[in-house]
Amino acid sequence: MTEKPARGPAYRPWSYAFRVGTYDFSLCGQGAELEELAASLFRGARAPATREGDRFALGRGPGGYTLRGAGGDLCAAADLPGAFRAIEWALTEACLARLDAYLQFHAGAVVCRGRAWLLPGPPEAGKTSLTLALYAAGAAVLTDEVALIDPRTLAAVPFPRDLLVRHGTARALAGALPPPASPWQRAAEHAYLSPADLRPSPPAEAPAVRLVFPRLAPDRCPRWRHVGPAEAARRLLDQALNGQHWSAAHIDALARLVARCPATEVTFSDSRATARALLARG
């Protein structure tokens, strides 16, 4: 009779539950190495339990690491840094696809004094730099990349994927930011920072009351320009991630959002000084 090999830590099954907005999902697999990778993913969205939701499986084969969903393999990577980046993005796409009930904007978002400020803008506009500078000045971070707005209440809710922090931003905010939790969250030009490591933690939702359109311009003194509701609406539409799925209620919510929220364009190079000035202006 052949004795079966012992099933040690390399085979132990595990599962993590997550919640982003109204979307529940879980990530499962087996083995200590894959669990260590899974434990670093979407830590800010970790939930004690979920309702029935999507299930994703993390695995490893001869070619490296894979993430599998109901329709098959979603992504693959040969090493841990590549797997972290690919899986983080695949889970982000899954969340975005299932959160069309919200207005989704390419924007940072913070909570200051219990109220949410949105920082919409295209890539390289300085959203993460200004979001984290506001955090260093005392704000709570909802997101640096995907802002979710409830169209009924105009409340912003967290989108707790990791923040992508360029090394220049980290140097400018030295002493204010925690280090990446895992070695594979460091890359040549940037690092990933989990919102789970930022304090204070954001509330479950906060009313949106202000729009700040950042414009990063090296070696420029801060400049402020008022943005009217019509221009603010156009800019938000330019940064809408799910505008093609909006209903009439979403369009009405956009109109109410720009009517409620004073909007300012901020041209800056020093994010820390700009954040302090923004908070002083209220």
Nearest to 152 by CA among 21, 242, 252: 252
SS3 of 242, please? coil
CA distance 250 to 240: 11
**Cβ–Cβ < 8 Å for 125, 50:** no
Please report which confidence band the pLDDT of residue 49 belongs to, taking 50, 70 and 90 as the band edges.
Answer: confident
Lowest mean pLDDT among 6-10, 98-102, 219-223: 6-10
pLDDT digits (tens, 9 = 90+) for 251-278: 999 999 999 999 999 999 999 999 999 9
Is 91 within 8 Å of 42 (Cβ atoms)? yes
H or E, element range at 227: strand 223-227
5-9, 26-30, 71-75: which range is least confident on average?
5-9
What pLDDT, on the 0 to 100 scale, is given for residue 10? 63
Strand partners, 110: 117, 141
Q: Is the pLDDT of residue 93 over 50?
A: yes
pLDDT at 59: 95
Q: Are 172 and 163 in contact (CB under 8 A)?
A: no
- Rounded percentage of the chain residues whose pLDDT exceeds 90: 83
Q: Considering Cα of 194, then 186, then 183, then 8, what sign does the dihedral take?
A: positive
80 touches 37 (CB < 8 A): yes
Angle formed at CA 246 by CA 231 and CA 250, multiple of 5 degrees: 65
pLDDT at residue 5 is higher than 90: no
What pLDDT score was predicted for residue 106? 98
Alpha carbon of residue 227 to chain centroid: 25
pLDDT in tens, 108-124: 999 999 999 999 999 99
Predicted confidence (pLDDT) at residue 188 exceeds the cutoff of 80: yes
What angle, 0 to 180 degrees and rounded to 10, lies between the N-to-C axes of helices 127-136 and 271-281?
A: 60
Task: Give me the pLDDT at residue 7, please.
Answer: 55
pLDDT in the model for residue 221: 75
Query: What pLDDT does residue 115 have?
Result: 97
For 1, other C-beta atoms within 10 Å of its C-beta total: 3
Instruction: Determine if the peptide bond prior to 214 is cis (ω within 30°).
Output: no
- Nearest CA to 55 out of 95, 33, 87, 28 is that of 28
Report percent pLDDT > 70 for the chain.
96
Task: State residue 4's pLDDT score.
Answer: 47
Nearest alpha-carbon partner for 213 in 267, 164, 173: 267
Sketch out the chain's domains with CATH numbers. Answer: 13-97 (no CATH), 103-281 (3.40.50)
Tracing tokens 């300012």 back to the chain, one arrives at 264
Question: Diameter of the chain by CA atoms?
Answer: 81
Average pLDDT, integer, range 155-173 = 94
